[in-house]
Structure 1
Amino acid sequence: MNVTTQEIASQPDVWQRAVALAAEAGPHLTAPGERVLFLGCGTSWFVAQSLATLREGAGLGESDYWCASEYRGGRTYDRVVAITRSGTTTEVLDVLRGIPSGTRRTLVTAVDGMPAEALADDRILLDFADEKSVVQTRFPTATLALARTAFGTGTDGLIEDGRTAVTQALPAVPEGEPAHVVFLGTGWTIGLAHEAALKVREAAQGWSESYPAMDYRHGPIAVSGSRTLVWSFGPLPDGLAEDVAGAGAARYESSLDPLAQLVLAQRLAVALAEARGLNPDAPRLLTRSVVLT
């Protein structure tokens, strides 16, 4: 069994530890009344998107998210939450160095003693969620499990659904090359949709896309057809199922918690990689951390 698969399967146990940490670490994320910026790169950027949506939706205060490489400042924040598994991502370090005095800097990371730590006022260390795999799976989902618990947005049944997702049969991908997988989300699950599509690209070099569910009809549906699987994180908006069927695409929905559905999507990415003779532990052109010279 490859390392990526082992780490995917470990997530329910990792989530239990993250949930237990919420009472101690959660205040750095909840920060009631503060204006907060969440940022990261790649997977961590999509986590930042979900966190900002969840926090503001919970009534805890204004919450923005940025891709660290595109952040140019210009807005005033009480706190910046930087997410970086390795603590070495160049673009995240650059943003943290430029944060003005008086703004609190919170780091969410999986590795102790890395450069980002010296630039932070507070640290949430999820070392139990660290990964050997280049492809991130359990670190981002552990971050979301902790935050959802802290925000009070509901994690009932999450662990049980996660255990189901580790063993449940995967949805069938339509035959034909290249397979085409489209992930859709609404609200905080838009970030999950983006992350699921990234897993398929990273692990399987697959053709995958992601959109807010309602926006799928605004152009992207034009390339869908008999080779397409449309995967929705939650029920499709009214009328969209009919449009998907009209395009000739297959459709998948699940009643599992959206975070558990992301586990299914991670497993699908690995299965697609193996079907193509690829090693998901060694994704093409990727490294564990992007460190720029």
Structure 2
Amino acid sequence: MSAAPATHPGAEATWMFREAAQAADVVGAQLAANRGPLATLAADLRRRPPAFVATCARGSSDHAATFGKALIETRLGLVTASVSPSVGSVYGVRQQLGDALFIAISQSGRSPDLLLNAEAAREAGARVVALVNVADSPLAALADVVVPLHAGPERSVAATKSYLASLSALLQLVSAWDAEPALADALDALPDALRAAWNCDWAPAREGLRQARNLFVLGRGPGLGAAQELALKFKETCGLHAEAYSAAEVRHGPMALVGAGFPVLMLAQPDDTGPGTRALADELRARGASVWLTDAGGDADLPLPAAPHPAFAPLLQVQAFYRMANALSLARGFDPDMPPHLNKVTETI
């Protein structure tokens, strides 16, 4: 793994940098604080298994839900679907959520559409679990079980540590629910793995994207939510139009845009999808695309530490990316803490 990257002048002074740098400590404290409550919830879920899982979130929190979907479906074999908040808040249609586990994910716990859907889910007979950073929020008051993210205040508009805290909370929930020791035992190593990821040098992508106007971010399986998060942060902090796709779905149309010089950032997972992603990277390079592949190992374009467990890879990818994105934002003349036209708390209906 490369030495710690040189940062853009002033990069360490941003709130985005300082808050993202706290993620490892946040996750360590969160895992300790939530161990007992999540063990109790997991025991109840094993005793009374839900028929399916529904998630409800927006923005970065919805990208965390994408990760949760992959995690729950691949480890528990339980169908997991994203509920559109607008179905309840705009169209007024009550979903048939009896016997479901309804997971609402939010930083503030205040958005009206999320509150309406959580209340409707509870009335329909679902068990409502809130993963929320503000533990005394209106969303928390509606939930049957509250899982605090313990991320602390975030001053940068761009969410960083709270996003990673959402992913670690989902990991801890699924590891307790699955009762499979490998994932649970590996969780203790997650904070140190995040610290190692923070020190990875992604300067090649930072320099290569300084003048870019568009790019694809590709992931698959548990890494799709990470690809979505990276694409959002490129737009939000760098003024860079980025679109996230599954490394499988990109072949169904979007590939037509990839030609000479087209930038593509690819997230390789240390699981059965990894070989296909690496083969796709080779194919895109053969077309002349500018490809940066994230992977563990010395030959990766964008290096990462080896993940203590394959399910951790998306967290390490995102943590390394946040440092690079902060510097890229400044290099492109933006303030990563204050994206234009955005507020820290977005309340939608």
Q: TM-score with structure 1 length normalisation?
A: 0.90
For residues 281 and 228 of structure 2, the distance between their equivalents in structure 1, rounded to whole angstroms, comes to 20
For residue 247 of structure 1, what is the aligned residue in structure 2?
Answer: 287
Alpha carbons of 1:61 and 1:214: their partners in 2 closer, same or farther (altered >3 Å)? closer
Query: 1:148 aligned to 2:148?
Result: no
Query: 1:136 aligned to 2:159?
Result: yes
Q: CA deviation at 1:14?
A: 1.0
For residues 175 and 227 of structure 1, the distance between their equivalents in structure 2, rounded to whole angstroms, comes to 10
Most deviating of 197-206 and 56-65:
56-65
Most deviating of 100-109 and 278-287:
100-109
What are the Cα deviations for residues 85-144 of structure 1, in whole angstroms up to 9, with x where unaligned?
A: 001112211212322242222211111322222322221122334422211111121121
Q: 1:20-35 to 2 correspondence within 5 Å? A: 20-27=32-39, 28=41, 31-32=45-46, 33-34=49-50, 35=52
For residue 276 of structure 1, what is the aligned residue in structure 2?
Answer: 332
Question: Residues 31 and 172 of structure 2 are in contact (CA less than 8 Å); yes or no, is this contact kept in structure 1?
Answer: yes
For residue 215 of structure 2, what is the aligned residue in structure 1?
Answer: 181
For residue 4 of structure 2, what is the aligned residue in structure 1?
Answer: none
Query: 1:74 aligned to 2:95?
Result: yes
Gaps of 5+ in 2: 1-12, 176-181, 297-303, 305-312
| Secondary structure of 1:169's aligned partner | coil
For residues 87 and 325 of structure 2, the distance between their equivalents in structure 1, rounded to whole angstroms, comes to 28
For residues 209 and 130 of structure 2, the distance between their equivalents in structure 1, rounded to whole angstroms, comes to 43
Alpha carbons of 1:161 and 1:61: their partners in 2 closer, same or farther (altered >3 Å)? same
Most deviating of 142-151 and 175-184:
175-184
Query: 1:232 aligned to 2:288?
Result: no
Question: Residues 29 and 81 of structure 1 are in contact (CA less than 8 Å); yes or no, is this contact kept in structure 2?
Answer: no
| Secondary structure of 2:102's aligned partner | strand
Q: CA deviation at 1:49?
A: 1.6
Question: Residues 102 and 128 of structure 2 are in contact (CA less than 8 Å); yes or no, is this contact kept in structure 1?
Answer: yes
Query: 1:16 aligned to 2:16?
Result: no
What are the Cα deviations for residues 15-65 of structure 1, in whole angstroms up to 9, with x where unaligned?
A: 111222342232547833212211101111111121122122222633222
Provide runs of 4+ in structure 1 moved above 6 Å: none
For residue 216 of structure 1, what is the aligned residue in structure 2?
Answer: 250
Q: Which amino acid aligns with 2:112?
A: T
Q: CA deviation at 1:73?
A: 4.4
What is the root-mean-square deviation of aligned Cα atoms in Å? 2.4
Most deviating of 117-126 and 43-52:
117-126
For residues 172 and 179 of structure 1, the distance between their equivalents in structure 2, rounded to whole angstroms, comes to 16
Identical-pair percentage = 25
Alpha carbons of 1:197 and 1:25: their partners in 2 closer, same or farther (altered >3 Å)? farther
What are the Cα deviations for residues 258-283 of structure 1, in whole angstroms up to 9, with x where unaligned?
A: 21111122222212210111111101
Question: Residues 39 and 48 of structure 1 are in contact (CA less than 8 Å); yes or no, is this contact kept in structure 2?
Answer: yes
For residue 162 of structure 1, what is the aligned residue in structure 2?
Answer: 194
Q: TM-score with structure 2 length normalisation?
A: 0.76
Query: 1:51 aligned to 2:72?
Result: no
* Partner residue of 1:193 out of 210, 227, 236: 227
Most deviating of 51-60 and 62-71:
62-71
Most deviating of 1-10 and 228-237:
228-237
Q: CA deviation at 1:70?
A: 4.6
For residues 78 and 111 of structure 1, the distance between their equivalents in structure 2, rounded to whole angstroms, comes to 24
| Secondary structure of 1:128's aligned partner | coil
For residues 246 and 73 of structure 1, the distance between their equivalents in structure 2, rounded to whole angstroms, comes to 50
For residues 347 and 173 of structure 2, the distance between their equivalents in structure 1, rounded to whole angstroms, comes to 31
For residues 242 and 291 of structure 1, the distance between their equivalents in structure 2, rounded to whole angstroms, comes to 42
Query: 1:97 aligned to 2:158?
Result: no
Most deviating of 18-27 and 99-108:
18-27
Q: CA deviation at 1:4?
A: 0.7
For residues 114 and 213 of structure 1, the distance between their equivalents in structure 2, rounded to whole angstroms, comes to 37
Question: Residues 244 and 251 of structure 1 are in contact (CA less than 8 Å); yes or no, is this contact kept in structure 2?
Answer: no
For residues 210 and 201 of structure 2, the distance between their equivalents in structure 1, rounded to whole angstroms, comes to 20
